[in-house]
Chains A and B, each alone.
Chain A
Amino acid sequence: MAENVQDIKRRIKSVNSTKQITHAMELVASAKLRKSRELAEGRRPYFEAMIESMGRIVEKSGSTRNVFMNQREVKKVAYIVLTGDKGLAGGYNANVCKLVEDHITNKEDAYIYAVGSRGRDHFRNRDYTIQGEYLGISERPNFFNAREVAAVVMEGFKKGEYDEVYVVYTKFISTISQHASLMKLLPLSVEDLKPAKKVEAVENEGKSKDLTVMLYEPDPEELLNQLIPNFVSSTVYGAMIESAASEQGARRTAMESATTNANEMIDGLTLKYNRVRQAAITQEISEIVGGAEALK
């Protein structure tokens, strides 16, 4: 109980102003989270329709001659690391970086494409090869950003600079739960494109409309060449929006608990403050009484 009344008062004030900041950040993150989720919802129909038509073409042409479907012996690996530009989001950035580090077997054979300054700084400080960096787009990614990134990695893959490309992003499970995940982007696997199709085929069996032969113009090969970049871009875009939503979710949760902690601290300090004040008053009274007694 060495602290005096003034010190405690000052501490309460300081905790309180921190609390106001964290609370404001929480509110901002909630609002942004809502927007990001809307974006994520909007992407779904495109992605589903895309997988369906690609699946159909792959099934029909049965070709795996496309360069992006070629499985090669894996020596060099590229990672698209999706992190935020800002911190204060709990483990959001750290989880993604850690996942990448755990997955990398050989530092020399890993290329990093960093989206977001947090991821870039992390890998730069640890001397990884940073092949590309995209800053300022994490919070509100658009399709053209995604296409740019996708085009770069596809080019690198085509030239054989690396044999596999992964996207590392944060899966948005719910507002309070997000998981860092690793997804293989290239080479594309034919199996990935099929399952969705199967369900639909069963549904359509009664109508048997699927039996009419689909024509392709230009030929399936060429269409596939056109669709694959779109598919890759769309996948990257999806990962970007999901990460953006996760970032906001993670920040909201982190700020919410910071606000709660601040409240607890203020409660504790207020109690202490009152006790110290009470003790001072009691002491004063007993001093006065003691003084009055002595005068008698």
Chain B
Amino acid sequence: MAETFRLKIIAPTGIFFDDDIERIVIRGTEGEFAVLAEHTPLTTSVAIGTFNIIFGDKKSKSGTLLGGVATINPRETIILTDAAEWPEEIDLKRAQEAKERALQRLKDDKFDAARAQAALERAIARINSKEGL
């Protein structure tokens, strides 16, 4: 069995995930990356996107991270995120509506483009996570 390390995903509303895992794949702002045990200490920013956890027994679980910062240490990784969700918690219809709305707003000058862009990214991440189920 491969080595495991501790992963904590903490959102403002509480601890979202706290368990020993073998590997996690996250979308960072600089690109997608995987973390295994004994990773070199690294602090990096996390983009809006999906993540995938593989447990010691090869079972896997994925979810959505809505941006944040990951602090990686050899034996422990802490991800501070604005919000995290499991696919079960995502309302696909709502996400699709949000996507449409965001696309509309991007075309329109009245709205803040950066905010619409962020909303669009969130919606897409949610849809991807749900459909990858």
Most A CB atoms within 10 A — which of B10, B68, B74? B10
A226 part of interface (Cβ distance < 8 Å): yes
B127 part of interface (Cβ distance < 8 Å): no
CB-defined contacts of B11 to chain A, threshold 8 Å = 46, 143
A291 part of interface (Cβ distance < 8 Å): no
- CB-based nearest B residue for A216: B43
A218 part of interface (Cβ distance < 8 Å): yes
B80 lies within 8 A of A230 (CB): yes
**Within the assembled complex, what's the spacing in Å between the Cα atoms of A226 and B41?**
19
- CB-based nearest A residue for B40: A215
A223 part of interface (Cβ distance < 8 Å): yes
A53 lies within 8 A of B43 (CB): yes
Interface residues on B, range: 20 to 34
A-B contact count (CB 8 A): 79
**Within the assembled complex, what's the spacing in Å between the Cα atoms of A53 and B78?**
10
| Chain A: interface residue total (CB-CB under 8 A) | 30
B14 part of interface (Cβ distance < 8 Å): yes
**Within the assembled complex, what's the spacing in Å between the Cα atoms of A147 and B67?**
14
A2 part of interface (Cβ distance < 8 Å): no
**Residue in contact with A223 in the complex, picked from B8, B69, B73, B82, CB distance below 8 Å:** B69
Which segment, of A5-13, A131-139, A206-214, faces chain B?
Answer: A206-214
Binding site for B on A (CB under 8 A): 39, 42-43, 45-46, 49-50, 53, 56-57, 142-143, 147, 209, 212-218, 220, 222-223, 226-227, 230, 233-234, 237
List 10 interface pairs A-B (beta carbons < 8 Å), by A numbering.
A42-B14, A43-B14, A45-B15, A46-B80, A49-B78, A212-B41, A216-B42, A217-B30, A230-B80, A233-B12
Binding site for A on B (CB under 8 A): 8, 10-15, 28-30, 40-45, 68-69, 71, 73-74, 78, 80, 82-83
